[in-house]
Amino acid sequence: MTKTNNTKKIPVFDDPRKLREFLINNPDSETVDVRYDFDFFFDANHCNPNGDPDADNRPRTDSFGFGKVTQESLKRKMRDWICNELRGIKGYDIHIRKSSTLSTATEALRDKVAKAHGVTLKKDDSDSDGKDSEKQTIKNDKKVAISNEAAAELCKEFFDDRAFGIVIGTNYVDSIWGAAQVYEAFSVEPVTIDTKTVTRIAAASEKDAEGKKANQTMGRKYDIPYALYHGTASINPHQCKKCNFTYNDLVVFVNALLFCFANTESSSRANMDMIKVYMFEHNNSGGCSHPSTLHDLIKVSKTCGDRAAIRRADYKIEIDESGVPGNITLHELL
């Protein structure tokens, strides 16, 4: 669904190999210069969509009993999908990934930039003795230049740095404000949480096995029978300019959002699917409507009466296309 013409085409690829081919064959891309807002819906079927480590890994809920999936969880799945499917493509490495050390890549790029400015950084990242005010001013100017250029190099190399931003907390490169924001998703109705006790037939160690039956090792699992979740996201064109977030990056962002639950399953999170994604494309950088006005155009209704929803067909998702302003293009991506 596309409401108006003369907009940027954002291709969706069912096969990630086609996305790889697209990026390799189209390396040059313009920086995103208009605002985008997203509404997306996914469901969880007999699984734990996002466990809370402070609550024995029970599915997260808010104070009113609605299910919650954090933005960190959603971005983690998007990062993992990109890391798996776009590995080796220049500019699409992932900075925050399992077992990675943030300072390793950061300091290497920072030292490279500093060397180009004729500065050799000390181990403590300090290059000033504070004794000469004129000399200090020069060094501070260099520090700002090194910081800005090092941040630009990080954005150039790592997709997640320019998309989601990063807080590093070291001298010269403290943080980067990313171009894309993915917000927490909440279930459309309060959720029911089931508890299961499980046993394991093998003991963890010989010591644990002494004097015990093998199947006495027990644990607990939680899942939600069924829930539909609604989340939102946005692209800030002003930060796109600062981070050099391009339309190719937007294509990757969209495809990662659509397929973030593919190949990221676990034993406790085996049945989650993205089922609906709307993208609102504004025709300028400031936006043509408040995001909440666009989100309110989408209505979710139950088709199963008073019975609890237990499957996808028990909900109907609709959008009032007539309410979309003429200077905003509506794309139904899924």
Q: Which two tokens stand for residue 62?
A: 């808010």
Whole-number pLDDT of residue 187: 97
Residue 318 in domain? yes
**Which tokens go with 96?**
């925050």
Query: Which whole number is the average pLDDT over 132-146?
Result: 60
| Sign, Cα dihedral of 321, 327, 328, 329 | positive
- Residue 146 domain-assigned? yes
**10 domain-assigned:** no
Residue 1 lies in a domain: no
Contacts of 87 (CB under 8 A, 6+ apart): none
Q: What pTM was estimated for this model as a whole?
A: 0.86
Strand partners, 330: 280
Question: Which amino acid does the sequence have at 85?
Answer: E
Within-domain flag for 5? no
The mean pLDDT value for 303-310 works out to 94
Please determine, for residue 153, whether its predicted confidence score (pLDDT) is greater than 70: yes
AA letter at 106: T
Q: Is residue 230 part of a domain?
A: yes
Q: Please answer whether residues 334 and 260 qualify as being in contact, where contact means their C-beta atoms are separated by less than 8 angstroms.
A: no
Rounded Cα–Cα distance for residues 119 and 316 (Å) = 61
Mean pLDDT of 293-322: 95
| Range of the structural domain that residue 21 is part of | 16-332
Count of domains forming the chain:
1
pLDDT digits (tens, 9 = 90+) for 93-114: 998 887 677 666 667 776 777 6
Average pLDDT of the residues of the chain: 85
Element (H, E) at 319: strand 315-319
Q: Among 73, 332, 309, 292, which residue's Cα sits nearest to residue 189?
A: 309
In-domain check, residue 8: no
Q: What residue spans of 269-319 are helical by DSSP H?
A: 291-295
Asked whether the beta carbons of 47 and 266 are under 8 A apart, the reply is no
Give pLDDT tens digits for 155-186: 998 999 999 998 876 666 778 899 999 999 99
CA distance linking residue 164 with residue 192, whole number of Å: 32
Q: Would 238 be classed as within a structural domain?
A: yes
Of 10-14, 125-129, 227-231, the one with minimum mean pLDDT is 125-129
